[in-house]
Amino acid sequence: MIRRLGQDTQTMHAELMALLLADPGRGHWWQLDGSFVRKVVKGTPYVYFQYSLPGGGKLQVAVGAASPEVDAIVAAYETGRRERDGDQERIGRLASMLSASGHRRVTHAVARVLKALADAGVFRLGGVLVGTHAFRLLGDLLGVEWPEGTWTTEDIDVAGRSEAGHELDIEVATPRLEADVPSALENLRMGFVPVPAFDPDHPSTSFKVRGKQLRVDLLTPASDREQDPVYIPRFRAAAAPIKHLSLLLQQPVPAAAVNGGAVLVAVPQPAAFALHKLLVSQTRSMVQQTKVVKDLQQAALLLEVLAEDRPDDLEEACAAFRAAGPSVVAKVVRGAKAAAKRHPEGATAVDVVTAALG
């Protein structure tokens, strides 16, 4: 049963999101953990900035010859860092208050992984959290709490396009950032290792902690004929091609994963997520029947909330899925009917979807 979050909890969550979105580190160079150093080169003093690379390692780049203008850059960095530190303290307090109010947190292990991916730049470089953890965070955005069995998992699914996505460049003369996903996971020292592909000639698209359920899967949209892993240069990793995944990645929205502190990630639009769950429920194999049950339940819950609170979002998402062709529409409609049969409390919302799909 869906439970509406209390007004106080929703207000705290909104304040937390506002702080995360206003973080001066997002898209500014003082997000980099580093310091300025001075060197004399051929008798001329130069200022360098030394910072940590996402995933480990350090890099030192020249800012310029010592001058009042460069001194102003150094001062702006220090001010930005102080302001960001103050915001981080407020974010921590809000996260603690949310937890005390009964807000369900992501597990500590999942929070560590999401923070490592965020710090590595995955979500700023077009990565989108999909799967059950995205469903969990969509509930927070919609102001509801899902039944516990619908979102419990240790699998972390991250999708990205093979071509360049919407990137937020650092505003300083530093090299273009890449999110080195394998290094970011390795540097957590949690025991992540690549999962061997079925074809030994193919690179791994998954990373797993030995002896535990914790796993990270990288996904990317696929064409009808695409089956081999696709290398994503800006992630320095390969991703598994998934048909129709592009319908899930249009105009992602920010969300906060809370555990002690909070991490800003990107998740799909709620309406697109719901329709995509209906779609994939009709494309899974027989051995994935357990996942089909979860697909339909998550879709039904989302549709029930969206039909009441955000019907226009459903109309827009249905238009995008209609444009994908009659085969996609037919699968979504079949999925909607299956969801209504299993979850009659969401039948009204399903009627809205089937009508919008024509």
> In this predicted model, what pLDDT tens digit does every residue of 279-293 receive, in sequence order?
999 998 877 888 899
* More confident call, 59 vs 334: 334
CA distance 92 to 257: 12
Cα-Cα-Cα-Cα dihedral sign, residues 187, 57, 87, 132: negative
Q: Among residues of the chain, what percentage have pLDDT more than 70?
A: 88
Average pLDDT value over all residues in the chain: 85
Residue with tokens 């290792």: 193
Q: Cite the beta strand spans of the chain per DSSP E.
A: 3-4, 34-41, 44-52, 58-65, 128-130, 144-145, 155-159, 192-194, 206-209, 215-222, 230-232, 237-243, 253-259, 261-267
Residue 123: CB atoms within 10 A of its CB come to 26
Residue 181: the pLDDT is 93
Identity of the residue numbered 32: L
Q: Please give the pLDDT value at position 32.
A: 61
Lowest mean pLDDT among 75-79, 95-99, 107-111, 123-127: 75-79
CB atoms within 10 A of CB 43: 5
**Does residue 170 have a pLDDT over 50?**
no
Is the pLDDT confidence value at 15 over 80? yes
pLDDT of residue 314: 93
Whether 174 and 193 have beta carbons less than 8 Å apart is answered as no
pLDDT at 302 over 90: yes
pLDDT at 315: 92
Element (H, E) at 351: helix 347-357
Say which residue, 72 or 117, is predicted with more confidence.
117
Query: How buried is residue 18: exposed, middle or buried, by Cβ count under 10 Å (0-12/13-18/19+)?
Result: exposed
57 vs 179: which has the higher pLDDT: 179
pLDDT for residue 164: 46
At residue 120, φ and ψ (nearest 5 deg) are -75, -10
**175: pLDDT strictly greater than 90:** no
Per-residue pLDDT averaged across 96-111, rounded?
Answer: 86
